[in-house]
Structure 1
Amino acid sequence: MFAPDRPVHFTRQSPSVHNGLKGLRLLCISAMAWAVSGCSLLQTESFNFQAELPENFTISATTYYDAASGESCPGHKVVKSDQPKGTQLIELKLPLTEKVKGCSRVLKSVVLNIEGQWGKRELDMSLQKAALYIRDEPTETTRPFPASGPLVFQGQCQWLFRTVGSRRFIRKILQCRALDANGVVQKSLAGGSMLRDGLAGRTVKLVLSVAQKEQPYYRGWWLETPKGWRPCTGLWGTNNEEYCTEPYKFLDSFKMPDGRDCTVYPNCTE
């Protein structure tokens, strides 16, 4: 006689095992999504830009891109801070890569638009630029990243004064230049260059200061005296400031922004 076949038993999974399998399936799906979206994740790479500004200064950035793969799709965009005007520490997030209409682009440079307010009226302002350059290979001027903390570029802004118009009103022009490691003013614009490799997620900081003493816009057209700067005239026979030559001859007066008639700057009267 043959023994009857043994019955087959199906074991019901416990809730914990079922949830574990469900979690494993979700993990696998997430991993597949990560792999599929790898390119789009790269497109969101960025770095943090900070600007430490003097009082009455503000800054915005214009980012310039080139095609990543030899295509012809350069472009640029303006990035402005949403922080209140007058904030002296500006922070911007600047994308390193992006994709526009199927064209992949990489960041090549950032032009920093500096605005300084020198008077109370809205038009009493002047613009100057600084720049950041992103290099794929190191050069003599490429700055290395520190082991920790931000990569800092130092700059100094100088207010330059002159007279304009038939009434010879004082106007001011902003000039910002880079500072070297010893704090010496350079001829180049504020900012500098850095390597693309390692830039993602890091912070780059521009620290701007203002020179304590203002200078004439036209060098040699004003004479510095113990009481202040006096505008020369007489060389070309006009009623405006001109190059100083001996014997010195000075303008009778010029006007300060508030309308005062003055003979020396910035003290107004001798």
Structure 2
Amino acid sequence: MNPNLRAWLLSTSMSLLTGCSLTPPKTFTFQADVPENFTVTGTANYKPAPGETCIAPTGEAFTTGSLFFKPEQPKTAHQVEFKVPLTDDDHGCSMILRGLKLTIEGQWGPRELDMGQETASFSVSDDPSEQTPVVQVFKGQCQWLFRTMGPYRYIVKIPKCRALNANGDMEKRMIGGRLHRDLLADSTVKLVLSVAKEEEPAVGDNWVKFPQGWKRCMGEDLDDRDAFCFGNTTDFKPFKMPDGRDCTVYPNCTEQEQ
């Protein structure tokens, strides 16, 4: 082969390979406005592109791949942000985004274990959309649910996060929704998360609400950890706050506190 022709072919091949390797995949930006002591991480799930078969090193076909996103630092004190690729070639085949799962983590106490998690999810639809939004905004709210745990009845909390409707009311459905693939490239998907002002018991018929706060039902005796009320709204037992205080009313601790 002519040396000049060979050099040209090699140069052209390298240019094509370099161009492909340096071309970043299209992405969309995910943002979350979060309350104090909350954060959001994400897992993007992918499926084989149309006509693509993904083969694992074992020789078996696989149908899903994942990328994990954990912002190292929040964009602001109460906002996290990361970019989600619409395609993924890291698993040895061409894959396309099929959904985004979020982990909402809330810290309710000073210890590392004083935290709880909830999830939200977004699916990606291949159906064409008639809209052309640059920013899609979803709203949700988390509410702390309290309960007692262990023989000393320490207060612990669990977050319940649900979607908000147009009136700002918490719905039964989880936070999330459907995203259209043809609208995602270079767009922004935003989650605005708030916290309900009022806390509620995590388990029904364990507590009775009074003007001073919630009182823990006695159940059969002090050792009854389930301690359902069963209509008994006169006998109650003490519990402990996370800081060790002995209390009779939640969240004020004592009936005299306001």
TM range (shorter): 0.7 to 0.9
How far apart in 2 are the matches of 1:240 and 1:98?
A: 49
Structure 2 counterpart of 1:185: 170
Note if 1:89 corresponds to 2:79: yes
Structure 2 counterpart of 1:258: 243
TM-score norm. by structure 1 comes to 0.78
Map of 1:88-237 to 2, 5 A cutoff?
88-100=78-90, 102-137=92-127, 144-146=131-133, 148=134, 150-234=135-219
Q: Which residue among 71, 74, 79 is the counterpart of 2:53?
A: 71
How far apart in 2 are the matches of 1:254 and 1:181?
A: 39
* Contact 1:55/1:86 (8 A) holds in 2: no
How far apart in 1 are the matches of 2:138 and 2:245?
A: 39
Structure 1 counterpart of 2:36: 55
Structure 1 position 59, deviation (Å): 1.1
How far apart in 1 are the matches of 2:206 and 2:242?
A: 20
Any gaps of 5 or more consecutive residues in structure 1? 1-28
Any gaps of 5 or more consecutive residues in structure 2? 1-10, 55-61
**Aligned length in residues:** 235
Instruction: Give me the identity figure in percent.
Output: 46
SS in 2 for 1:186: coil
Q: Which residue among 224, 230, 252 is the counterpart of 1:267?
A: 252
Given the superposition, is the C-alpha separation of residues 35 and 200 from structure 1 closer, same or farther in structure 2, using an over 3 Å criterion?
A: farther
Structure 1 position 36, deviation (Å): 9.4
How far apart in 1 are the matches of 2:75 and 2:235?
A: 40
How far apart in 2 are the matches of 1:81 and 1:212?
A: 27
Note if 1:46 corresponds to 2:10: no
Structure 1 position 181, deviation (Å): 1.8
Given the superposition, is the C-alpha separation of residues 46 and 230 from structure 1 closer, same or farther in structure 2, using an over 3 Å criterion?
A: same
How far apart in 2 are the matches of 1:56 and 1:143?
A: 38
CA RMSD of aligned residues (A): 2.8
* Contact 1:143/1:195 (8 A) holds in 2: no
1:216-264 deviation per Cα after TM superposition (whole angstroms, max 9, x unaligned) = 0012221100110011132588533522233324332100001011011
How far apart in 1 are the matches of 2:178 and 2:157?
A: 29
1:116-158 deviation per Cα after TM superposition (whole angstroms, max 9, x unaligned) = 01111111111111111111126xxx99553x4x210000001
Structure 1 position 85, deviation (Å): 9.7
How far apart in 2 are the matches of 1:166 and 1:212?
A: 29
